[in-house]
Structure 1
């Protein structure tokens, strides 16, 4: 029997776990205790954890992809493997090669002290990290921050989304077999309120801005530091100089991956006014070649009925208010039984439409024609700061103009979503799209307390300034000012 099939079977009574609320209490308490008695795991221990995780993912990748597809209703195994599993494997490999260097104490300049004093900063593990994940990339968004947290010497407990319980049960089984749960654990079925309402040493949440605010309020009760990855409406700009077909090939790949259910998916598109017809024609040819029919297994279902109805209402709201919805497939616009909506371009959009007010999180792409780049920049800056911003241009002046006149969590030039897969760059939002970041060295730092340690030398220079104050103090103070210590 496969691991997925085993995870879906009811457990024997003797093997049943405690209810999720009791189990989270137990695991949390034991991780807290372990983080205090063994506060600084060695580099070898941290590397071993990442090796174990990588081996688990590679060995069980087919069962994991099957579980993700079961939770969605349909998602191609190839998408899950390349977007979730491979990214995690490469993240493990990248990180474990650098852990020893990242852990080294950093020497710092010494001020206001003399005679051999030393300053250093050591990365101190925070302790127990809680990870709250969404359903859209349920594996990657659970384990990518865990890689950073484990590398920093922490212990982690993961809460997966209610829509990801097939995967949650499978990962609970696999991780429980591979790890002591004082290091890493997945708790299926626990509510977000029960999970977050405790004194974590760090809490990371990925989801909507509204829920992120609630998580932050809960964390504030315990003065728990938080990392929030919140999404938003990520704009995409095709500049005058860039080839329309090339831009369409690249940005539509990122847009329609996972049927648009991606926090960094292009949310709305600026196209030079005279090139809109060319973009629409290019998009039709590209999408038909990639998704020849709506029921292709290569095209992902919308996660659940609530999300499906929200997207159909969003599209209907736009067309009712005068938008022109262009179905990019030569067949029905939707299939209720499969929870699939055909990829659409939506033209003639207005500010009062749902599609321009809310994050879309689906296969609908509004187009905003423009005449001047300044009006594009003004529009972007008048709205909330996005998680991602995409620009298609080979012109250095255009690139610099957009980079230095806008703000966003991250930016990608001449492609879409690929910046998230760069392990040597931080990933995170700004303003309404989040706070904090992880991936690479910045992720290691995010989940560490950079602990300063001052070590006095054989003599203390400060004692030369001790009372009673007089000429000695005045001489020393003038010397310090002159030396600019």
Structure 2
């Protein structure tokens, strides 16, 4: 993409510089890759307080403990796992050959792709920049990272720290507005990973198509939770409240709505209110609860509430005190009888609103989920093995957790990614290594082989061999 804007011209020059550096050293050793991972780990460890302070300022309020738990601890697990297993992942893998190719040998070689582009959202800026970077570095790549303009302090500090840790032709952070983001997704990267909304994901994929750039899209959607007929009810409610209030619901895998056995709605609300009070006492002044990232996002949540209420929904605030535009503090609100056509029930909420949908049978709950776009996550609370097996097998989602919320993301050995409208591709652990590698197949034929027996001119010999080879 050609553009006269200085920052876009600089981006294009940076991509050329990294690609030239890749061509000079296309297959770094494990020792080199491990050193890069350790350098990233040390940078994060030494600057976590400064990064947490910057993030707190960007959000208006976000507790340091939440940042360390939800971002730095998860990212540390990613790095530790890569250091434990990366050397083994790099090794070529022997593959079998069919008998007609013998004595040939077959293998698959994991090869670095080159230069990876990573577009980072605002909600977990360090985790969602660092996680893909860990996979890219483990696979031996170079990377350019585009941070979000909605977290300017965090983005600027991360750019500075990356520049101090890595050479410019190895890992670089760029910052800018939506115009730079659009240009970024149109660059001829060897792979592009985008984390963000489904709407913007369409635009990123269209831009990447110009160069046939392969993409991993980590999107969102409406992730359902089912409180099953055999659930430990109080545990389910408590766990859902914890998952929904982390980062004030500004989480791509947050439960977006909850399916509850009909007649249990009020019990759910009462237990959720008690749990919310226990977690965030004196809500209006509580410093553990995260603010909404911007005035625009705060207004969007208020519009969702107002529209749903105007269409007949009932609101059930689960904390004392209402939403405060001055501090962008928005309490958790349960919503019942929300009309299906409202934006609340059609769009990803990305905030502390929790519609409650009653169901009569497990068949009804499964049908409700399957009638909608495939979600990024699905949560089931139930202890019955048959129920768990049915939901595992009869629904499709990017990931699933049983009797837990969000924590499948923290399991570094599990791939993380969406399906359908919630995204494509995956990273974390080995799957992240594979995503940012070309798994190149190689066939090596021996000097003495039977290839000549099936070469022209065709005749009785070849026909006899074909008759033998095509026998079923």
Q: What is the TM-score with the length of structure 1 in the denominator?
A: 0.93
Distance 2:331 2:144 in 1: 37
CA distance in 2, matches of 1:368, 1:480: 59
CA contact (8 A) 1:427 1:439 kept: yes
Query: After the TM superposition, which segments of 4 or more aligned residues of structure 1 sit over 6 Å from their partners?
Result: none
Give, in whole Å, the separation in 1 of the partners of 2:40 and 2:189: 23
How far apart, in 1, do the equivalents of 2:74 and 2:443 lie?
39
Q: CA deviation at 1:21?
A: 2.7
Partner residue of 1:361?
350
Q: 406, 412, 419: which one pairs with 1:430? A: 419
Pairs within 5 Å for 1:190-205: 191-205=180-194
| C-alpha deviation, 1:481, in angstroms | 3.6
What does residue 95 of structure 1 align with?
A: 82
Given the alignment of the two structures, is residue 143 of structure 1 paired with residue 127 of structure 2, yes or no? no
- Are positions 1:127 and 2:117 aligned together? no
Structure 1 residue 168: Cα displacement: 1.2
SS at match of 1:369: strand
**Which one of 65, 74, 77 corresponds to residue 78 of structure 1?**
65
Q: Which residue matches 1:276?
A: 265
Q: Please tell me whether the aligned partners of residues 114 and 459 of structure 1 are also in contact (alpha carbons under 8 angstroms).
A: no
Alpha-carbon deviation of 1:114? 4.9
Within 5 Å, which residues of 2 pair with 1:78-477? 78-111=65-98, 113-114=100-101, 116-189=103-176, 191-292=180-281, 293-331=283-321, 333-477=322-466
Q: Is the 8 A contact 2:284 2:320 kept in 1?
A: no
Deviation at 1:477, TM superposition (A): 2.7
- Structure 1 unaligned residues grouped into runs of 5+: 1-17
* TM-superposed deviation, 1:116: 3.0
Alignment of 1:60-75 (within 5 A): 60-75=47-62
Cα distance between partner residues in 1 of 2:257 and 2:412: 26
SS at match of 1:397: helix
Shift of 1:422: 0.8
TM-fit CA distance, 1:138: 1.0
CA distance in 2, matches of 1:409, 1:431: 9
- State the alpha-carbon separation in 1 of the partners of residues 99 and 190 from structure 2: 33
Q: How many residues align?
A: 465
TM-score, normalising length from structure 2?
A: 0.96
CA distance in 1, matches of 2:234, 2:364: 23
- Quick one: distance in 1 between partners of 2:202 and 2:294? 24
Give how far 1:115 is off: 5.5
- Report which stretch shifted further, 256-265 or 69-78: 69-78
Of 14, 21, 31, the match for 2:18: 31
Unaligned runs of 5+ in 2: none
* Inter-partner Cα distance in structure 2 for 1:115 and 1:68: 59
How far apart, in 2, do the equivalents of 1:110 and 1:434 lie?
34
Deviates more, 1:225-234 or 1:397-406: 397-406
